[in-house]
Chains A and B, each alone.
Chain A
Amino acid sequence: MSATSATAPPPRRPAEPRGPAATRRADRRGVELCLLVAAVGICVYGYAEVGLARTGAVPKDAAAYGGGLGGLALLAHAAVRAGARYADPLLLPIAVLLNGLGLVLIYRLDLEPSLGPRAAPAQLVWSGTGVGLFIVTVLALRDHRVLARYAYVSVTAALVLLVAPIAFPSVNGARIWIRAAGFSIQPGEFAKVLLAVFFAGYLSANRAALAYAGRRVLGIDRLQLPTGRVLGPVLAVWLASVGVLVLERDLGTSLLFFCLFVVMLYVATGRTGWIAVGLLLAAGGAAAVSANEPHVHQRVQDWLHPFASIAAGDGPSQIAQSLFAFGSGGALGAGLGQGSSALIGFAAKSDFVLATAGEELGLAGLCGLLGLYALLVARGFAAALATRDPFGRLLAVGLASILALQVFVITGGVMDLIPMTGMAMPFLAQGGSSVVTNWLIVAVLIRISDRARRPEPAPAAVPAAERAAR
């Protein structure tokens, strides 16, 4: 899916002629608008469907809900028109559709009294905040390459954000929350983007050194270690962030950072040796952590034996409940509002929100959702291939990989493919920090794709040395 899309459009050459011909080039904002209308329509339909299934009537606030989502979509669209005319027309509609479907699922789960207070109104406010941040980013960040200058600021901020929750009490075994004045945010979510910016900035500046210097390992040419002087800072930052996360017991995010680091290092240097080193480190780290952390050990046991708690007479575990939900959905699902995914209990609206989609929309609906994520990731990689500067390319690869890795870790976790790690499904799951961060990711991707597809070349921005390096 994403592979074929990612390889589709060849990057535009900057040698394209200037003048009237260039300005006539289609910006495809009309396509985006049509897709946005369709996306909002699907979400409003889903919302009405929940009401019809549960009470036999369309919810009274269906129009207000549709208006709110449509208004947000239109504002974002206007910002893209004004600030990023040539951006990829698929990114924004997919984000709106996923965000809207997430709101529908959370609204639907709000109807189950056993799952606690309503979460959809707060999620709508957070979505609005996310779209606001999206608009500000698209309008204020005229050129994504500016971010490269803030690589070290980013990494400092990321580390501060990662360390901050240690000062706050742990929630459900993980210290990843900051609670103040009635708000609770997960700073690790924002740290993802900041670390991607840092990795992109640092790696694009030191590519040559990382790729060509250093000792050979085992006498094989391809397995070459870079010099410690170059690699040191990256490794240190990465170790620090992973260490902090292990202390906070947020292993999903830890795994995500690790994979992100390996992928970006590989793309920057082209050295397969990094993958080997990465896999070795990952295997060693996973073994050590699962042996020494009872919290993680339990997760691994749940993964290997999801039904053990039933045999032990303690009732089904969350993973077992999640599997029951997916299984009962079958091919076509029970229909929105008609499933029993509330049995999952705690975290049904956040980590396990996908189980509700699987039960009520079935495999068909799940394929649709995964297809949307695949398309979003593919458009991210397409932007990476189309962009002309190494920083932008690495950043786009990093951001697209963050999305893909999150989808894999969560979907694999709730369906017992890999051990469950607490993480939010992008746009779909309840969680303010997550939805705001994902809007930020989409904003930066739009920024990069706009720069990549913009007709007038910007020779000043692409130095000859960089072009030659490509």
Chain B
Amino acid sequence: MTTDTPRPPPRPRFFGAWGPRELKGLFWQVLVVAIVVGVVGFLWSNTVTNLSARRITTGFAFLGREAGMPIADSLLAYNPRDTYLWAFVVGVGNTLRVAVIGIVLATILGTLIGISRLSANWLLSRLAAVYVETLRDIPLLLQLLFWYVLMQALPAARAAWRPIDGVFLSNRGLILPAIPLGPPQLWVLGTAAVGLAVVYLIRRWLVAQQMRDGKLRPVWPFAVSFILALPVLVSILLRVSWTIEWPQLRGFNFVGGLTLAPEYFALLIALVTYTSAFIAEIVRSGIQSVPRGQWDAANALGLRRSFMLRQIILPQALRVIVPPMTSQYLNLTKNSSLAVAIGYQDVVSIANTTLNQTGQAIEAIALIMAVFLTISLSISFFMNWYNSRIALVER
């Protein structure tokens, strides 16, 4: 090969800084954007024509009208004379009620099962594996319908099952004894919440002190005094009563206590058991991801078991656990929309009724999507914040 041929001079660029590569990129972008704009514009103009042909006025004015739909079971107070807007808010409340409680219960159950799968007890770990495999491989909607059928097959209120005294399980749902919460009780609970925040700050300060001089300072005296003793003191001083209200059978139904309607109870069971199977796998792989050397090193230092789990193992496992856990929480929230199949009135079900009553399809579906996008984004925002807090800090 000849090496002494001079390199050809660079080709002059015709468009200044715009080389062929940039031009090609620009071409593709313009093409794709034009196609997207064209398709959206086409659909939009069709929609406008169709809506005017069907004499449907667009816009959210219908939200101010009287809804007139019954909502049997709701967290927020509602009556059919309220507006569609309030009905929507009640629906969001119902969605959040099942999603938040579902997330808490699924996390607890999933963690227990995930730990059981790692147990040295062969029987326990096999049972946990069967639980996970079975629930993961059957569609959630089928499980939901199954639980709902079982709820409906329960005996009537008069012949209700009583697994524990005061707890009734019948085709009216699950009825539990409850403590009625009025303003005085809420004040006491508020004190406990403030106490929790104070203890959190104290703990941060104590840890900062420990970083400086290496002395371990116990947090529990503060925790006991602020979270437990202070609220107890307040409730004694203000004479707040904490009587338990026991449910009573009157006629064909129960009076008093806390009622979980069959629809709500079936949806909660289905969501919790289904999601817990996925969480169990996440927890298991998280714990297994901590290298053996970490256990051995902690043992070699003579750390107590609980201290070792809390300070050595969990922080490392959480790093693996948190990101997939976030998507499970998002899945549970989105899956709560299956409520529409059994008639629990969450936001999707209420939007669906609204759609049928008013014909405002676009607005109703846009509201559903807006609600879920907001919930999804807030959960992922919170979990990203938490994840960045526990992430590995490398120099």
* A and B interact physically: no
Point out residues on A near B: beta carbons under 8 Å: none
